[in-house]
Amino acid sequence: MRDADPDEAVVAQLREGLQPDREEFRILMGKVRGFICKDLTNIPLTVDEVLSGAMLRAVQKIDTFRGDSTFYTWLCGIARNVWREQVRADCRHRTDDIELQPEPSAEDDPQEEAYRRLVVDEVVSCLEEAEREFIHLRFWERLSVRECAERLAMTPADAESFQKRIMRKAYQRRRDEGV
């Protein structure tokens, strides 16, 4: 049998739409903040964003709390989900930023551009046909991962994984052979 939930009063107050006891709420927030810092991230701004996002979602979804676990455990699960969503959004944002970067032109430094082409040709030559096709679509035709997935009859998630595997393979080859 499970012990009584120490945050039961906070849960009851939130369910009734009341302001929880300030001290009990502060203690609970400190415990959740500790969980976020210890298990998820230690970047102060991110910790505050995750904590506030988790609390907002918990208050909005308080009626779904069944009491199968402690409120703290339920909150930590929400915090973990908020953090994951934030990481995914940050990754998508970084990918979008990379796609917006202008491609360096050969006019900037023709020798550097020629060297880059040789390196790319050498690295791409180690790839299998499907991998080369994906690279061609993604970087030469400048299709998004989603568009590449559609062309190659894959899910976008599979295309993301495929791209990561290709890039790891290419970097490994470049590192191993000094290309």
Per-residue pLDDT of the chain (179 residues; tens, 9 = 90+): 556 777 888 888 888 888 888 888 888 888 888 877 776 665 655 777 888 888 888 888 888 888 888 888 888 888 888 888 877 777 665 555 454 555 555 456 666 666 666 666 666 777 888 888 888 888 777 888 889 899 999 998 888 888 888 888 877 776 776 54
| Burial of 53 per CB tally in 10 Å (0-12, 13-18, 19+) | middle
pLDDT recorded at residue 37? 76
Judgement on whether residues 91 and 12 belong to the same structural domain of the protein: yes
pLDDT recorded at residue 42? 55
Indicate the pTM of the whole model. 0.46
Q: Which of 65, 99, 133 is the last residue of a domain?
A: 99
For residues 150, 151, 155, 160, the Cα torsion angle rounded to the nearest 10 degrees is: -110
155 occurs within a structural domain: yes
Judgement on whether residues 18 and 85 belong to the same structural domain of the protein: yes
Domain span including residue 22 = 8-99
Judgement on whether residues 164 and 90 belong to the same structural domain of the protein: no
Residue 166 CA to residue 131 CA, distance in Å, equals 7
pLDDT recorded at residue 118? 65
Q: Which of 50, 75, 99 is the last residue of a domain?
A: 99
Q: What is the CATH number of the domain that holds 88?
A: 1.10.1740.10
63 occurs within a structural domain: yes
Query: 35 and 76 in contact (C-beta within 8 Å)?
Result: yes
